[in-house]
Amino acid sequence: MSQKVQAVIVRAKDAPVETVTIIIPEPAAGEAVVDILTCGVCHTDLHYKLGGIGNDYPYLLGHEATGVVSKIGEGVSNVAVGDRVILNWRAVCGQCRACAKGTPQYCFNTANASQKMTLEDGTELSPALGIGAFAEKTLVAAGQCTKVDEDVDAAAVGLLGCGVMAGIGAAINTGEVKRGESVAVIGCGGVGIAAIAGAKLAGATTIVAVDIDDDKLAMATKMGATHTVNSKTSDAVEGIKAVTGGFGADVVIEAVGRPETYKQAFYARDLAGRVVLVGVPTPEMKLELPLLDIFGHGGSLKSSWYGDCLPSRDFPMLVEQYKLGRLDLDAFVSERIGLGDIEAAFTKMGEGKVLRSVVEL
Ligand code: APR
Ligand code: ZN
Ligand code: ZN
């Protein structure tokens, strides 16, 4: 039997969000219905609303969620009814060229539910990142569910479903930060702060935070940065070199997404340093660099998409680190709100006032 639940959608480009009744179909083979406990408000949800991602309105927003599996379709074996899960947008196929090459983080056949959730009049919804979790229940592919322990704060661990994972993964997966290394993080929003937490978790001993906002730098220090540079008032590259013996950092993580900060990241790397690009540029942005500065200095430039995470590997491990007190996910939860407060949360996000607003259902 299909079920009717409350959910938050956006009907047209830049329209205000609305709480409406939606219909969740019975799960087909390989699908699961998840009763949502918490869902973080991410920049990507705002981009859907503003028309930056597509034109497939109405969108069912929300994608950074924890829930409990309440129904499963035929053939589902990775989760069972009653399991606490974190949702993900990287349910890899295991068969495409990327998966066959051993790089499933670039899988281009990631699974979503095959059926559509709808409005009461039958209008099909497009779920944000194939999830749609600003809702009492949502329908996903079972592979989008990763079982995790129940004895933890759902709001905190649910953030691993998107932005926090992107930052931590930029450090531990893409950057492969090792014990005793130096790491610089340029841009200390939610993603950059998570990269700092990831660098600390990996055992980095020098962690330099760079931002143009002193409040962000204060937060960075709280989360493990050992040094800070305000790049509005001083030079980012010189500031990073000054605290790394004059050389630059072993790993530099760019978490802004602008040409000038990409360039700073490039020049702030030590010999053979790794530059990790997690900030997303716009299509028209370009960067020009002297080839000799690439050639003569060694190292690598790597992009990081969703922190190069594999949810079934990374989510349970990071929940365990949280339980052991080594990863402060609580610090990312700035406020707990209801389904009706999402528009206000978007405004606060724009003002840079919160790391994460988290909807509790
Ligand atoms: N130099 C240094 N820091 C900067 C600069 C700059 N020129 N411009 C902006 N910043 C800082 C802001 O002060 C803010 O702290 O970068 C941070 C950006 O944070 P958010 O806007 O909260 O963005 P966040 O969610 O962290 O995402 C950062 O990563 O995944 C991508 O799409 C995401 O491109 C975005 C980036
Ligand atoms: Zn694949
Ligand atoms: Zn997101």
Give yes or no for residue 348 CB within 6 A of ligand 1. no
Give yes or no for residue 268 CB within 6 A of ligand 1. no
Pairing of strands 31-40, 137-141: antiparallel
Residue nearest to atom 2 of ligand 1 (CA): 211
- Model confidence over 32-77: pLDDT tens digits? 999 999 999 999 999 999 999 999 999 999 999 999 999 999 999 9
State the Rg of the chain over Cα. 20
Which ligand places an atom closest to the C-alpha of 160?
3
Which ligand places an atom closest to the C-alpha of 93?
2
Question: How far is Cα of residue 178 from the mean position of the Cα atoms in its chain?
Answer: 22
The CA distance from 188 to 255, in Å, is: 7
Give yes or no for residue 213 CB within 6 A of ligand 1. yes
- Model confidence over 101-121: pLDDT tens digits? 999 999 999 999 999 999 999
Pocket-testing residue among 53, 64, 159, 191, ligand 1, by greatest number of atoms within 8 A of Cβ: 191
Q: What is the pTM of this model?
A: 0.97
Phi-psi region of 338 (alpha: psi -120 to 50; beta: other; left: phi over 0): beta
Cα(17) to centroid(ligand 3), Å:
17
Give yes or no for residue 189 CB within 6 A of ligand 1. yes
Cα(266) to centroid(ligand 2), Å:
31
Which ligand places an atom closest to the C-alpha of 310?
2
Share of residues in the chain with pLDDT > 70 (%): 100
DSSP per residue, 216-265: HHHHHHHTT-SEEEETTTS-HHHHHHHTTTTS-EEEEEE-S--HHHHHHH
Average pLDDT taken over every residue of the chain: 97
243-253 b/e with 16+ CB inside 10 Å = b? bbeeebbbbbb
Roughly how many angstroms between the first and final C-alpha of the chain, as a whole number?
Answer: 22
What is this model's ipTM?
Answer: 0.98
Give me the torsion for CA of 34, 331, 321, 201, rounded to 10°.
Answer: 130
Q: 191: closest CA among 211, 221, 166?
A: 166
